[in-house]
């Protein structure tokens, strides 16, 4: 995939741009990591973080007399009732959302590649067993299970949420990977490799999985979008993240009563959420267009 | 056909067992004592012990699990701690309202999806096509609960066109109160907005695939206009994937509209499960997970049957 | 046909939009917003505000609260006498009082109800009757006989106390004094789970769980219905406060008791004639874990925390002036309240000095302390506030939010479950209007509500003396002393005494908020009319 290919797919380009900017902002928030309210010891060091983010997620502007303050030059989107800069908090939310979306998908993708690959390679009862397990996962009411699983823990960290989401998201990718690997197998290259003495692990890693990686990445990009949305609604309902992490879902829930009076408190995190998810969906779209020549043919044929 | 149907129905047993067991384990581990939540902070130890004994919460784990499975085999979902009514009845009422909402949303999104596809397919690659594609993608990316809040603000609070919340009182069906049409609109539109994007894209792809087939070319050669060729000929044959996806949407919405139901205070499955979980009404959450799993499998079965029937290639 | 579906849908939408019309409430009906289904309709199991609404309306007791106050007046009992030693209360039942099924109420029903209220399987109200003679033996099953309650004849019943207890009548006026018909509540069919039967002014008419619950006026009630009385109370379940407010504005409900955050000032102005506010007998506070370091046995450190909290900001900005800054545990309008006492001052400088005095200048050597709270928006805001206030003097806390079930479980288990727990949030509502319920149940050594495991023999002695003291004025002074002791010892950080807001359409008249809570509003005396 060359860079010039991106130009042919404006969707992929837009998606890549959005994802890149959100990732960049999220990376900046790392400098604030672990800083709790009013802690004067740890200030962000880099110039960019200081100017783009300006405030930590829990920094209060004590000069605000009657919070919540409206939009001003000092606070572009105003502050919330706790005198915290809204824009900074929305940007900090990007860090949490991305960490959950990407980490959960990394787990799901690894599991999916491993399980799908092994199923394709081994065949027989191993294949049957693993694919039944995948079918089972796909038939479960995952939103409900995620709610119940997370509720088991009385304090809910970012790690907990992404592990639960990751463990629930592998089945679709596993099926996809298995199909792709089987297709690659029938093309005969792996047989040749085996004839040359390659072991099973090597066979899987060097010959089968690369064939499956591209479509798996498309699915994973959609998966990241889905994970971000799931975390948001779980937190919105108070069943997801708790504690100090800044979640867009929680911000929206907190601002809901004030939607009619101070819509910015609710619209800003919602829009950030929508744009981030849009980025990953567009990226998945674009990747699919670029990677699947048949789909491109279909659009060009008409 | 019959054999395959039977196999699929048998497959339901391990699926339901897995869902039931997973949820049972989660709820076994969940912190918080239902008795304490019901009796309040000043309840004494004796009161709490009496309630726990009545619900069998004081028994060892294997015995509780065994009893749970035995009851499940007899299709007995138990009694709600909070409402004191059979869980099956509570879930039946909630499921009826959720099913109406999911069906309305799935139908709306299918209509919207078809409309998007028809408009796009007039000039594929054109400006309208690109715009609709962007709109569909945006729809997929919007968080449903956020859309719900905004629609509620505009159309219920400000314009007062629709009621703000609740299911309303619709007709009675076999003793089940169905939601009112008027109350249905905003929640159904919310769910249609977030699901119609995918449907529109699938419908567009299916439609374009059909238009490249010879019979459409033939129809156009006989003088049919392009819109007419699209709607009369191509759409009919592209209905298979559209119906399949609409059906899958319906199945997904049964258990997937949790946040939207909560925002609109829609007394369906999602809200029942959220409140059951928060109030530690364990039988309701367990029963709800089981019912949703079974419903999901059955809906998928029905969708496969329907799309097989709709696929012209599968006709004898 | 298929391609017409989009237009069909659009048509349906238009149809639905066109039939939108605001609902007209019929006369004599009140539509009451309820946040959730009541967990129970049994007055002896009711432990939450929602269940108590029904307990107060469906059931009556021998005596009742005067609307809007904690004074007690006759109800099912038309009169009573108290023996000179203050130990025996003899009640004469009012003639013609009937249960909803038509059967007259007798003294035997009062005895049955008291026994039921003191049986662990059927009641969570044992704490209410601590003073009753023979209570412990009956509750623990040691004796089948409840010595303290006797029916002298069909219309006369006597309660005997183990020691004089001034607020005993207020206990009887609460839900714990409800009178239940024995034949209904002991029937194996347990029909009362679905259809409660009492002798109160309203009876259950219809119920759609998760959606609504309807009470209708009981025509055979002993109180005469005033002109324009409310025939129907329809409780609509709307979980979310902002949804409820929007519904109120749209005309879909007539009464809501919770104004969502951020709206209070606007609502007060816009709906001035609808707006009601009064104080309530309840307290929000930060509790310490006294069973473990760093706060256990370290009053100086606890005082440093007390002076760091910006109570004024919490009350003024976060609570939007609904509540009052709390100076102690005993709320206004409760026996023993000291109107002269000022809240502990917000003084970060003093706090820093105390912190240094406790051996932790600028917080050095202190671990990160866990603060436990349940997860609601309001409590989250307060948690953030506490964290910021304490950080300013150098005390670092980690906020542990959990849902209510997990939170209560964690508190009940105390320090054993959460080794790092140092602070927690707590609120306490008066079960009956007496400081014993507030102080004794929360801070006595080993009390069931003493989640912080506070233990102070001097305090325990004051509480015990208060329970024995027959004279109300002297009792009040004892509790005031106990309250002062708690504040000096910084056993807790009182934050605010609750206020309560309610919106009621002005066409309803005669509603008075009760200091006990909105559940104690006497709706049978409210009338509708212009």
Which pLDDT tens digit goes with each residue over A150-161?
988 877 888 899
Q: Is C324 on the interface with B (CB under 8 A)?
A: no
pLDDT at residue B111 is higher than 90 = yes
Spatial distance between the Cα atoms of C390 and C394, rounded to a whole number of angstroms: 6
- pLDDT bin (cut points 50, 70, 90) of residue C6 is very low
* B6-37 pLDDT, tens digit each: 888 888 899 999 999 999 999 999 888 888 77
* C313-347 pLDDT, tens digit each: 999 988 989 999 999 999 998 989 999 999 999 99
Neighbours of B, requiring at least 3 CB pairs below 8 Å, are A, C
- C 29-48 → B contacts, CB under 8 A: 36-37, 39-40, 45-48
Give the H/E segment covering residue C213.
strand C212-217
Q: What is the mean pLDDT of residues C23-50?
A: 84
What is the predicted pLDDT for the residue at C231? 94
The nearest CA of chain A is from the CA of C373 a distance in Å of 10
Helix residue spans in chain A (DSSP H): 3-8, 10-29, 47-48, 86-122, 124-139, 142-151, 158-168, 170-186, 189-195, 200-203, 209-236, 248-255, 264-291, 293-300
CA C520 to chain centre: 10
pLDDT at residue B316 is higher than 80 = no
Give the H/E segment covering residue B218.
helix B214-221
Nearest CA in chain C to A244: C399
- Closest Cβ–Cβ partner in A154, A259, A275 for B149: A259
To the nearest 10 degrees (0 to 180), the angle between helices B87-122 and B181-211 is: 40
Spatial distance between the Cα atoms of A189 and A35, rounded to a whole number of angstroms: 53
- pLDDT bin (cut points 50, 70, 90) of residue A293 is low
- pLDDT bin (cut points 50, 70, 90) of residue C419 is low
**Cα angle C389-C292-C381, degrees, rounded to a multiple of 5:** 30
Q: Residue B178 burial (CB < 10 Å; 0-12/13-18/19+)? A: middle
For an interface test with A, which of C401, C405, C421 has the most A Cβ atoms less than 10 Å from its Cβ? Answer: C401
Nearest CA in chain A to B212: A302
CB contact under 8 A, C391 and A254: no
- Give me the percent of chain B exceeding a pLDDT of 70: 97
Spatial distance between the Cα atoms of A71 and A215, rounded to a whole number of angstroms: 44
* C468-493 pLDDT, tens digit each: 888 888 999 999 999 999 999 999 99
Q: What is the dihedral of CA C73, C74, C80, C86, to 10 degrees?
A: -30
CB contact under 8 A, A274 and B211: no
| Torsional class of C472: left (φ above 0), alpha (ψ -120 to 50), beta (otherwise) | alpha
Nearest CA in chain A to B156: A260
- Closest Cβ–Cβ partner in A60, A239, A243 for C388: A60
Nearest CA in chain B to C417: B31
Residues 6 or more apart in contact with residue C498 via CB below 8 angstroms: C279, C280, C282, C283, C284, C322, C323, C331, C427, C429
Residues 6 or more apart in contact with residue C413 via CB below 8 angstroms: none
Q: Residue B143 burial (CB < 10 Å; 0-12/13-18/19+)? A: buried
The nearest CA of chain A is from the CA of B30 a distance in Å of 4
pLDDT at residue C121 is higher than 50 = yes
DSSP labels, A51-82: III-S-TT---TT-SSSSP---SSSTT-B-TT
Report chain C's mean pLDDT, rounded to a whole number: 89
What is the predicted pLDDT for the residue at C22? 45
The nearest CA of chain A is from the CA of C388 a distance in Å of 5
What is the predicted pLDDT for the residue at C13? 47
What is the predicted pLDDT for the residue at B97? 92
pLDDT at residue A126 is higher than 80 = yes
Tokens representing C323 are: 């509540």
CB contact under 8 A, A236 and B145: yes
Beta bridge partners of C527: C229, C509
- What pTM was computed for the model? 0.84
pLDDT at residue C530 is higher than 50 = yes
Residues of C in contact with B31 (CB under 8 A): 402, 405-406, 409-410
- pLDDT bin (cut points 50, 70, 90) of residue B212 is confident
Residues of B in contact with A226 (CB under 8 A): none
A222-231, C21-30, C394-403, range with greatest mean pLDDT: A222-231
pLDDT at residue A41 is higher than 50 = no
Q: What is the mean pLDDT of residues C23-33?
A: 80
Spatial distance between the Cα atoms of C372 and C418, rounded to a whole number of angstroms: 9
Number of H helices, E strands in chain B: 14, 2
- Closest Cβ–Cβ partner in B84, B164, B235 for C193: B84
Give the H/E segment covering residue C487.
helix C472-488
CB contact under 8 A, A256 and C242: yes
Neighbours of C, requiring at least 3 CB pairs below 8 Å, are A, B
What is the predicted pLDDT for the residue at B312? 58
What is the predicted pLDDT for the residue at B216? 74
* A137-191 pLDDT, tens digit each: 988 888 889 999 998 887 788 889 999 999 999 999 999 999 888 887 777 666 6
What is the predicted pLDDT for the residue at C43? 93
CB contact under 8 A, C9 and B108: yes
Residues of C in contact with B94 (CB under 8 A): 210
- Specify the range with the lowest mean pLDDT, choosing from A197-201, A252-256, B23-27, C94-98: A197-201
- pLDDT bin (cut points 50, 70, 90) of residue B49 is confident
CB contact under 8 A, C392 and A243: no
């Amino acid at each position: 995939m060359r860079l010039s290919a991106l130009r042919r797919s404006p969707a992929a380009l837009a998606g890549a741009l959005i994802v890149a900017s959100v990732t960049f902002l999220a990376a900046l928030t790392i400098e604030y990591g672990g800083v709790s309210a009013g802690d004067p010891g740890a200030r962000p060091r880099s110039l960019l973080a200081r100017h783009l983010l300006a405030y930590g997620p829990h920094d209060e502007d004590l000069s605000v007399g009657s919070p919540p303050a409206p939009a001003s030059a000092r606070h572009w989107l105003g502050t919330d009732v706790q005198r915290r800069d809204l824009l900074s908090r929305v940007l900090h939310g990007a860090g949490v959302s991305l960490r959950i979306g990407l980490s959960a998908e990394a787990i799901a993708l690894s599991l999916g590649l491993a399980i799908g690959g092994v199923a394709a390679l081994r065949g027989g009862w191993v294949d049957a067993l693993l694919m039944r397990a995948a079918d089972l996962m796909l038939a479960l009411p995952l939103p409900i299970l995620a709610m119940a699983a997370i509720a088991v823990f009385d304090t809910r960290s970012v790690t907990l949420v992404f592990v639960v989401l990751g463990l629930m998201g592998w089945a679709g990718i596993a099926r996809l990977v298995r199909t792709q690997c089987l297709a690659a197998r029938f093309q005969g290259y792996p047989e040749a490799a085996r004839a040359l003495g390659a072991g099973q692990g090597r066979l899987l890693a060097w010959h089968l999985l690369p064939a499956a990686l591209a479509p798996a990445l498309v699915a994973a990009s959609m998966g990241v979008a889905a994970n971000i949305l799931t975390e948001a609604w779980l937190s919105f309902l108070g069943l997801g993240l708790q504690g100090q992490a800044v979640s867009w879902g929680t911000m929206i829930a907190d601002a809901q009563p004030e939607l009619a009076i101070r819509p910015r408190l609710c619209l800003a995190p919602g829009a950030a959420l929508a744009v981030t998810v849009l980025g990953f969906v567009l990226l998945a779209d674009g990747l699919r267009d670029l990677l699947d020549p048949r789909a491109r043919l279909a659009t060009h044929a008409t | 056909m019959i054999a395959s149907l039977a196999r699929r129905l048998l497959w339901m047993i391990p699926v339901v067992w897995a869902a039931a067991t997973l949820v049972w384990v989660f709820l076994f581990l969940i912190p918080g004592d239902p008795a304490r939540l019901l009796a309040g902070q000043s309840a004494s130890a004796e009161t709490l012990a009496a309630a726990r004994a009545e619900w069998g919460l004081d028994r060892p784990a294997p015995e509780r699990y065994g009893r749970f499975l035995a009851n499940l085999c007899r299709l007995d979902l138990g009694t709600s701690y909070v409402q004191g009514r059979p869980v099956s009845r509570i879930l039946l009422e909630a499921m009826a309202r959720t099913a109406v909402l999911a069906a309305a949303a799935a139908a709306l999104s299918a209509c919207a999806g078809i409309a998007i596809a028809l408009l796009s397919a007039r000039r594929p690659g054109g400006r309208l096509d690109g715009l609709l594609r962007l709109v569909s993608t945006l729809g997929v990316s919007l968080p449903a609960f956020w859309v719900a809040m905004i629609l509620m603000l505009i159309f219920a609070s400000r314009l007062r066109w629709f009621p703000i919340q609740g299911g309303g009182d619709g007709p009675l069906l076999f003793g089940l109160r169905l939601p009112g049409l008027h109350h249905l609109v905003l929640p159904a539109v919310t769910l249609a907005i977030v699901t119609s994007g995918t449907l529109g894209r699938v419908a567009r792809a299916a439609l374009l695939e059909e238009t490249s087939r010879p019979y459409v070319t033939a129809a156009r050669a006989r003088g049919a206009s392009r819109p007419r060729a699209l709607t009369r000929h191509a759409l009919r044959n592209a209905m298979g994937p559209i119906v399949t996806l609409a059906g899958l949407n319906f199945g997904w919405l049964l258990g997937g509209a949790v946040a939207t139901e909560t925002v609109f205070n829609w007394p369906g499955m999602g809200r029942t499960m959220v409140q059951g979980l928060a109030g530690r009404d364990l039988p309701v959450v367990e029963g709800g997970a089981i019912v949703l799993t079974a419903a999901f499998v059955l809906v998928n079965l029905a969708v496969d049957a329907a799309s097989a029937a709709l696929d012209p290639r599968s006709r004898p | 046909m298929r391609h017409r579906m989009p237009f069909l849908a659009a048509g349906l939408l238009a149809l639905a939009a066109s039939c939108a019309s605001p609902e007209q409430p019929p006369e004599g009906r009140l539509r009451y917003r309820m946040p959730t289904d009541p967990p129970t309709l049994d007055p002896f199991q009711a432990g939450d505000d929602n269940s108590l609404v029904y307990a107060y309306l469906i059931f009556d007791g021998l005596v009742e609260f005067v609307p809007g106050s904690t004074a007690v007046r006759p109800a099912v009992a038309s009169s009573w006498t108290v023996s000179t030693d203050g130990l025996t209360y003899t009640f004469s039942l009012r003639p013609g009082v009937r249960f909803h099924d038509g059967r007259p109420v007798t003294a035997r029903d009062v005895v049955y109800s008291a026994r039921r209220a003191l049986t662990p399987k059927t009641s969570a109200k044992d704490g209410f009757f601590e003073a009753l003679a023979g209570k412990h033996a009956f509750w623990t099953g040691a004796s089948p006989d409840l010595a303290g309650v006797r029916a002298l004849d069909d219309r006369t019943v006597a309660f005997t106390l183990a020691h004089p207890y001034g607020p005993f009548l207020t206990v009887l006026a609460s839900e714990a004094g409800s009178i239940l018909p024995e034949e209904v509540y002991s029937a194996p069919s347990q029909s009362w789970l679905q259809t409660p039967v009492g002798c109160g002014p309203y009876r259950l008419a219809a119920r759609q769980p998760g959606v609504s619950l309807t009470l209708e006026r009981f025509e055979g009630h002993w109180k005469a219905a005033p002109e324009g009385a409310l025939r129907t109370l329809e409780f609509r379940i709307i979980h979310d406060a902002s949804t409820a407010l929007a519904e109120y504005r749209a005309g879909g409900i007539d009464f809501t008791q919770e104004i969502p955050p951020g709206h209070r000032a606007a609502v007060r102005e816009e709906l001035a004639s609808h707006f009601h506010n009064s104080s309530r007998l309840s307290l929000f506070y930060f509790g310490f874990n006294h069973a473990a370091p760093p706060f256990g046995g370290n009053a100086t450190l606890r005082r440093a925390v007390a002076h760091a909290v910006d109570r004024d900001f919490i009350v003024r900005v976060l609570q939007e002036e609904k509540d009052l800054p709390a100076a102690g545990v005993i709320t206004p309008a409760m026996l023993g309240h000291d109107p002269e006492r000022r809240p502990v001052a917000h003084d970060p400088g003093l706090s820093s000095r105390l912190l240094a005095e406790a051996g932790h200048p600028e917080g050095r050597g202190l671990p990160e302390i866990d603060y436990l709270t349940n997860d609601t928006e309001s409590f989250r805001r307060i948690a953030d506030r506490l964290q910021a206030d304490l950080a300013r003097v150098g005390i670092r806390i980690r906020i542990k939010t959990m849902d209510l079930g997990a939170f209560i479980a964690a508190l009940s288990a105390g320090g054993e479950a959460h080794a790092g727990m140092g602070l927690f949030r707590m609120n306490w509502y008066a079960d009956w209007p007496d400081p014993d319920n507030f102080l004794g149940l929360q801070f006595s050594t080993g009390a069931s509500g003493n989640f912080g495991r506070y233990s102070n023999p001097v305090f325990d002695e004051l509480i015990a003396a208060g329970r024995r003291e027959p004279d109300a004025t002297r009792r009040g002074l004892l509790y005031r002393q106990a309250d002062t002791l708690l504040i000096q010892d910084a056993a807790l950080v009182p934050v605010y005494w609750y206020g309560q807001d309610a919106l009621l359409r002005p066409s309803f008249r005669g509603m008075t908020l009760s200091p006990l809570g909105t559940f104690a509003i006497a709706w049978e005396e409210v009338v509708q009319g212009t």
